[in-house]
Amino acid sequence: MNVTVFLPQVLRPDCGGAARVAIPLAAADGRMPLRDVLDELALRHPRLDQRLRDEQGRLRRYVNVFVDDDECRAVAGLDTPVADGTEIRVLPSVAGG
């Protein structure tokens, strides 16, 4: 299966300047949790993962990750299922400062 992760401008330096990252994944039943997608992303771009999650793998408070149109916390958090062709968008929340 393949998913695409879209990144905001501010995070692109941490993945070589790319606006999107295509990730081929091996999933037996064609689905996997968002956590596993982020783990795969972390292997390729560890500093990007540092921006998104703490060292315990928890999503940072003001980082929103949309799985297709749904922010993952509104679904099942990092257990939100991801399927072939899913688009994942990382967006800073309207917060912080």
Binding site for other proteins (CB under 8 A): 9-13, 46-47, 50-52, 54-56, 58, 60, 62-63, 92-93, 95-97
Query: What's the min distance (Å) between Cβ of 58 and other proteins?
Result: 7
Q: E strand or H helix at 40, and its extent?
A: helix 34-44
What b-and-e string marks burial along 53-71, b requiring 16 or more CB atoms within 10 Å of the CB? beeeeebeeebbbbbeeee
